[in-house]
Amino acid sequence: MAADVSRRTRGRLYASFAGLVVFAALVSALSVRDPDGVWVRIGTVLVVAGAGLWLPAPAVAVVVPAIWLGPNVARSHLSDVELFRADMLLELPGLAGLALASVFAREQLRALEEETQARISFIGLDSELDPVTGVYQERLLGQSIERELVRSRRFGREFAVMLASVDPLVAKFDYRQDEKWQAGLKATAAVLLNTRTHIDQVYRYGDRAFALLLPETGPKDITGLIKRLSRAAKRSDPPEGEPGGPLPLNFGVTFFPQCATTVEDLLRRAEVAMRIAEKSPNRLQLDSAEAPDMPAPELMRKNEDEELYIDTLAAKWLGAEAPEEEQSSAPPAAVDAGPERPGPEGRPAPVTLPDAATPLAEMLARMDETLAMIRSLKEQAST
């Protein structure tokens, strides 16, 4: 039933646009009898059609006679043209039909839009989109990869999973204001959506990243995609001093079937590649079949203690030697913490290593205070 309603609505819409063309042609045909009034009639047709598409129907009934009479009265005074000639009177029915066709087309467009919104709400498509960026929500990513796995296995095709993340330091320091951060996310999502092909899909991934499912895409195609994204991002940059430009991204890419063959492995390896790209100067890391398959669950939502693990993995992945302190899994040697204090039962108390996150937190707090002071000074200077 819904399909029948849509078909009827579209049929009426096409008929109304056909009526617009027919009545515009009838009005234009009068120009053969009045060559001097060609431009006047072209302008009249455009104004009447615009009034029918935008103004309420009662207003159109008043405006169309005024549009018909105004130019002709002006011509009669300026060029000694007879008023209410036969061609002028024949012009009025054509303009009236043009106005009616415009009003009818507008109503059919509105009905089709309302019907489409009702169907979207009924099947729940609106709940599948992220409210901030307009891309698909993260919860749908695994299902889509699973469907693509079935299709690619059946037809012997390859595809890629690409994760694009904002550098954590950029997100933390350059986009502290929530409005600026939201505007940057929207602009980044718009670039990803406009640059992709019609079969690619874009998803939100965590708080500061996007995931792209790229069917029929191999390692050679990724370089061209990154170049297109870079050019699109440069064209989308706002004027200097205004927020809302695309955010700088790091790209980690893995491939089926060369690197992984399950949803979990694809996401895990893409996350590892993305984290390595954050440490790479070119901001891009392509997975390969020779890369080590190391467990890295939920790396994007990691804590600070996993940095050492990521550095070691990056060294192994890129084929470099890991730093000496990372090659050994033994705990560090005794730390000189002054004279030993007796613990329970006379045993020496264990030495507690300083928390590496504490100095970082203190430094961030001092930077927050400095930035707040700078903003207050700017506000005072502006006033």
pLDDT digits (tens, 9 = 90+) for 305-363: 555 666 666 666 655 444 443 333 333 333 333 444 344 444 444 433 344 445 666 77
pLDDT at 234: 85
**Residue 254: which of 289, 297, 294 has the closest Cα?**
289
| Buried/exposed code over 284-309 (b: 16+ C-beta within 10 A; e: otherwise) | bbbbeeebeeeebeebbeeeeeeeeb
pTM over 0.85: no
Give, in degrees to the nearest 5, the angle at Cα 148 between 145 and 150.
Answer: 115
pLDDT band at 1 (very low <50, low <70, confident <90, very high): very low
| Tally: H helices and E strands in the chain | 12, 5
